[in-house]
Structures are given as C-alpha cells and as structure tokens.
Structure 1
Amino acid sequence: MGGISIWQLLIIAVIVVLLFGTKKLRNLGTDLGSAIKGFKGAVTDEPEKKEAATEEDSVNGDSLGDKTAQNSKVSEKEKDQV
C-alpha cells in the first residue's frame, strides 16, 4: 500500500550493482565509512582537547594574558632573527 516491498528493493539493488559495479560500490562504502569514523573522532576529540588544555593551564597557572604576552615575545624574537 504505497510502501516499498522487499522485491522492489532487491530489483533496485541489482540495477545499482549493474550500473556501478561491485568495485566502485566497495570503494564508496569504504570511503563513506572512513569519513564517518573521522567525523566521530573529531567530535569526540574536540571536547577532550579543550578540557585537557584547560586543566593544563590551571595546573601551570597560565592565563590568557600570560599566553598573549608569551606569544608576542616569541614573535619579537622571530622578527629579530630575520
């Protein structure tokens, strides 16, 4: 009644395999899987990196002002070397 039956899905799958071939479909599946894995890794790593950086700063006693001062000192040293 308006839904797609298993036979219709099977026919569509056979047509797709005939059009693209199994090698291309396998490569597409592999690429899609690695992209999803990379996305999940990036999403879960981002909060952990922020927490680790925050914890490291609190342990070292660094603040944002200290970091900008350090960055400006480094850039001045680099200018002097050039």
Structure 2
Amino acid sequence: AAGIGANITLADAMALGHDCGHGPGGHASEQAFDAFIPEGFDHGPWGADVSLASLNLCAETLDGIRNHSWSRPAPGTVEGEVVS
C-alpha cells in the first residue's frame, strides 16, 4: 500500500478485518459451514456484516473486508484492491 501512496492504516484494517470472518481452520471451514447455511458461507461478508458490525467501522473498511476475494465484487478503493 505504501509503495503506491495508498492509506496504509485503511489497508491494514481491511487485511486484518477479513480474518475475523474465518471459522476454525481458516478457509477450510467455509465448506463445512456451507452444509448448515442455506445461502452458503463466505468469510468476507460474515466478517464485515456479523463479526465486526458492533465496531462501527467506516464504509470503506467494511467494503474492503467484504470484497477482498476473487469471488466477490471488486472493492471500491485502491486499498481494497491492494488487499484483494
């Protein structure tokens, strides 16, 4: 992030925040959770919308957490693109 002049603090918050949506075992747990959640489990939205909801994070941070994966829409910020 620093190399392209992006906001380092924002990129760090996105990168660290996305891990909050992981279950035990990281990415491997997503397949296990899929069996119990009708719409499927994706750790990005789970982290942004459920795990971190009470922290009142800014929209840019939540967007970067929610959309850091290839299977999601592109993030809306340069920092989100760096994290993805």
TM-score range, shorter chain: under 0.3
Normalising by structure 2, report the TM-score.
Answer: 0.25
Query: Which structure's CA Rg is the greater one?
Result: 1
The structure where helix makes up a greater share of residues is 1
Normalising by structure 1, report the TM-score.
Answer: 0.25
